[in-house]
Amino acid sequence: MRRVVALLAATLSLAGAAGCGGDGAEPGAPQGATLVLDFVPNAVHSGIYAARRQGYYREAGIDLTIRQPGESTAAPKLLASGRADFAILDLHDLGIARERGLEVVGAMPIVQRPLAALIARADGPVRRPRDLAGRTAGVTGLPSDEALVDSEVSADGGEPSRVRRVTIGFDAVASLAAGKVDAATGFWNAEGVALRRQGVPVRIFKLDHYGAPPYPELVLTASQETIEREAGLVDSMLAATSEGYEFVTAHPRRGLDDLLAEVPSLDRGDQAAQLRALLPDLRPAPFDPAVLREWAAWDLEHGLLKRPLDVNEAFRLSG
């Protein structure tokens, strides 16, 4: 469900870069490793940039290179081919990648709940998801958006087939601000925050409040080969990343400073607002296998997966 931009140059750069680090390194030198993000850098990645800025990766023996993604399928392929060591993946993308035969494994959740939501203007007629019956919902055109609308409307006692769906691409903010649609799919930490910062009154219906389990939206992922052959590197990566997010939770302003120091093109006001929204859920923690099974069943029910997913194989549940 995560949206990515077409950064061709980044993709080409990644394709030519060796991922699994440390080959030929001097004894005692940090081991090189590459992490591919799920999207352009933003507040959800603050713990990663804080960990690098605060020296946690280097203390863990890792010289981490952070890359932006090219297209939604790039990161799983880079992991599976050994051109990258780690990636942040949307949970749905992880499941789809495994279904396509790519042996990628979720190692640690980053965000503890879905970020996807239906967003409606608070001064409009949609007071709850079922009110969309006979009205217009803007969607990106991705299958995951169809699943979101179906899940939320049906969970609220409405009839999803009565919702008029209009493909608006990734223009949820502009479309809602202009009143072109009654509601739109988006992320509560991104479009929801942006609309409020523009002074647009909104109602946000979070997916895990309407039909979906509280699955971790974003997951730090590695290939099966890396999990098996580089267990020390994986453990160090997880520990340093966790420390980075703990730092951001304890010191949000300093965490924001670290993010902006690493990515100065970002707008401080936007990222500060996103970080405030994310903080209650922005923490690595062990996977909950029961929640993962509920999520896999939800994806299967809504057609995002074509066959049942074995969560014991798809996720590093212990160790």
Q: What is the mean pLDDT of residues 37-51?
A: 97
What per-residue confidence (pLDDT) applies to 63?
Answer: 98
Helix (H, G, I), strand (E, B) or coil at 12: helix
Q: What is the mean pLDDT of residues 204-227?
A: 97
What per-residue confidence (pLDDT) applies to 70?
Answer: 75
H helices of the chain, in order, are: 8-15, 46-53, 56-59, 74-81, 91-99, 143-155, 172-177, 191-197, 224-229, 231-250, 252-262, 268-278, 289-301, 311-314
**CA–CA dist 3, 1 (Å, integer):** 6
Q: Which two tokens stand for residue 160?
A: 């999803």
What per-residue confidence (pLDDT) applies to 2?
Answer: 36
Q: Which two tokens stand for residue 7?
A: 């950064």
Query: Which domains does the chain show, CATH number per domain?
Result: 8-113+215-314 (3.40.190.10), 116-209 (3.40.190.10)
- Residue 184 bridge partners (DSSP): 119, 138
Residue 291 has pLDDT above 60, yes or no: yes
What per-residue confidence (pLDDT) applies to 15?
Answer: 37
Residue 55 has pLDDT above 50, yes or no: yes
What per-residue confidence (pLDDT) applies to 6?
Answer: 30
Q: Let me know: does 13 contact 34? Beta carbons within 8 Å.
A: no
Helix (H, G, I), strand (E, B) or coil at 180: coil
What per-residue confidence (pLDDT) applies to 25?
Answer: 53
Residue type, 19: G
Residue 190 has pLDDT above 80, yes or no: yes
**CA–CA dist 244, 223 (Å, integer):** 22
Q: Let me know: does 120 contact 203? Beta carbons within 8 Å.
A: yes
Helix (H, G, I), strand (E, B) or coil at 37: coil
What per-residue confidence (pLDDT) applies to 296?
Answer: 98
**CA–CA dist 29, 80 (Å, integer):** 26
Which helix (H) or strand (E) segment holds residue 108: the answer is: strand 104-109
What per-residue confidence (pLDDT) applies to 284?
Answer: 86
Q: Which two tokens stand for residue 15?
A: 């394709």
Q: What is the DSSP letter of 111?
A: B
What per-residue confidence (pLDDT) applies to 316?
Answer: 95
Give the range among 6-10, 46-50, 148-152 with minimum mean pLDDT: 6-10
pLDDT tens for residues 63-96?
A: 999 998 876 568 999 999 999 999 999 999 999 9
**CA–CA dist 31, 273 (Å, integer):** 35
pLDDT tens for residues 257-285?
A: 999 999 999 999 999 999 999 999 998 88
What per-residue confidence (pLDDT) applies to 12?
Answer: 31
Q: Let me know: does 238 contact 284? Beta carbons within 8 Å.
A: yes
Residue 116 has pLDDT above 90, yes or no: yes
Q: Let me know: does 224 contact 105? Beta carbons within 8 Å.
A: yes
H helices of 134-263, in order, are: 143-155, 172-177, 191-197, 224-229, 231-250, 252-262
Residue 16 has pLDDT above 90, yes or no: no
Q: What is the mean pLDDT of residues 209-214?
A: 97
Residue 159 has pLDDT above 60, yes or no: yes
**CA–CA dist 148, 163 (Å, integer):** 12
Mean pLDDT of the chain: 91
166 against 25, higher pLDDT: 166
